[in-house]
């Protein structure tokens, strides 16, 4: 019950709302703080974005780290295949990671080689999603950016042009993922400026997406989210419309992660809301040593 309450508490109010406990100091809880929001935007008729979030906390003897799984997928394809693809992919990834990583960890504390490496779990999860989407949603596809958080460590798997950023303590956005888009490649080669890319007629062309079939190449990253930093996942409905300075400003000045996510959506809609908008913000647990 306590456990559930904690989980719900994170969602609803965020950490900032908790009053200080008088008397004996309470050891900081090892858990992740989360905010998220998704919105159809102004122009589109339906939301092809999917967000899927699982968090777990454990205290007691041999406590496990705080675990969070954050999945953001932005679907594409006609006849509703976009939203079907993104939802299916997110669920397939969550299923694979839970089964291959979290369930074994619950009963075995000593890591060994029987457990696949984390990177392999993530890559296999996205590949499983790729196979599933290719089979069940022909003509549909989706981006997929997935972060598995273990305390302050983020393990990220990524395909497409949804993004993962670190919001630094100084309020800068540090992009972790690389978009698998044609224009991003051209910017990398110095053939387009970011401003030209933003209005390029082919800015929406991806060269890699979940659902394309075949052996999917999946990018993986790992990052430590330091004290004062946050992890931000978002779809191009946010980053393609609201500039990074404004995004960072909103995150830094909001009263909670949840408030920040909602304000980000409002900002994107104010700027035209041309696409679906999804954001997820995560803050790692306070340093256990502190």
The nearer residue to other proteins, 28 or 255, going by C-beta atoms, is 28
The nearer residue to other proteins, 18 or 112, going by C-beta atoms, is 112
Q: Which residues bind other proteins (CB under 8 A)?
A: 43-44, 65, 74, 76-78, 105, 110-113, 115-120, 139-141, 150-151, 153, 155, 161, 180, 182-183, 185-186, 189-192, 196, 200-202, 204-209, 211-214, 220-222, 224, 236, 274-275
The nearer residue to other proteins, 19 or 214, going by C-beta atoms, is 214
Q: Give the shortest CB-277-to-other proteins separation in angstroms.
A: 11
127 forms beta bridges with none
Q: How far apart are CA 260 and CA 275, in angstroms?
A: 19
Q: What is the DSSP string of 138-151?
A: TT-EEEEEEEEEET
The nearer residue to other proteins, 14 or 65, going by C-beta atoms, is 65
The nearer residue to other proteins, 128 or 259, going by C-beta atoms, is 128
Q: Give the shortest CB-262-to-other proteins separation in angstroms.
A: 22
DSSP letter, residue 15? G
Q: Which residues contact 238 (CB under 8 A, 6 or more apart)?
A: 247, 264, 265, 268, 277, 278, 279
Q: Give the shortest CB-242-to-other proteins separation in angstroms.
A: 14
CA 285 remoteness from chain centre: 17
Q: Give the shortest CB-77-to-other proteins separation in angstroms.
A: 6
**Three-state secondary structure readout of 16-45:** HHCCCCCCCCCCCCCCCEEEEEEECCCCCC
> Which two three-digit tokens encode residue 242?
């609201």
Q: Give the shortest CB-50-to-other proteins separation in angstroms.
A: 15
Q: Do 74 and 48 meet the contact criterion of CB atoms below 8 Å apart?
A: yes
The nearer residue to other proteins, 109 or 253, going by C-beta atoms, is 109
Query: What does residue 261 show for φ and ψ, rounded to 5 degrees?
Result: -60, -45
Q: Give the shortest CB-284-to-other proteins separation in angstroms.
A: 12
């Amino acid at each position: 019950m306590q456990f559930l309450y904690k989980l719900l508490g994170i969602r609803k109010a965020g950490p900032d709302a908790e009053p200080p406990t008088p008397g004996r100091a309470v050891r900081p809880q090892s858990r992740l703080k989360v905010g998220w929001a998704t919105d159809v935007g102004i122009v589109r008729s339906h939301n092809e974005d999917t967000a899927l979030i699982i968090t777990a906390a454990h205290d007691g003897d041999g406590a496990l780290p705080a675990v969070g799984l954050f999945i953001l997928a932005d679907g594409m394809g006609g006849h509703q295949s976009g939203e079907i693809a993104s939802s299916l992919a997110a669920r397939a990834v969550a299923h694979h990671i839970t089964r291959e990583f979290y369930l074994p960890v619950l009963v075995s504390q000593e890591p060994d080689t029987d457990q696949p490496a984390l990177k392999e779990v993530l890559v296999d999860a996205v590949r499983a999603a790729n196979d599933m989407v290719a089979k069940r949603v022909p003509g549909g596809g989706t981006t997929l950016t997935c972060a598995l958080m273990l305390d302050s460590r983020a393990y990220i798997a990524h395909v497409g042009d949804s993004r993962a950023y670190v919001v630094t303590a100084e309020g800068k956005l540090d992009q972790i993922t690389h978009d698998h888009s044609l224009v991003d490649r051209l910017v990398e080669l110095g053939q387009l400026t970011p401003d030209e890319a933003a209005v390029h007629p082919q800015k929406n062309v991806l060269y890699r997406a979940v659902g394309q079939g075949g052996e999917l190449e999946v990018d993986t990253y790992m990052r430590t989210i330091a004290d004062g930093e946050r992890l931000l996942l978002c779809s191009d409905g946010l980053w393609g419309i609201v500039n990074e300075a404004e995004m960072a400003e909103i995150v830094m000045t909001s009263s909670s992660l949840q408030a920040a996510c909602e304000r980000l959506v409002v900002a994107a809609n104010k700027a035209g809301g041309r696409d679906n908008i999804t954001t997820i913000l995560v803050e790692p647990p306070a340093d256990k040593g502190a």
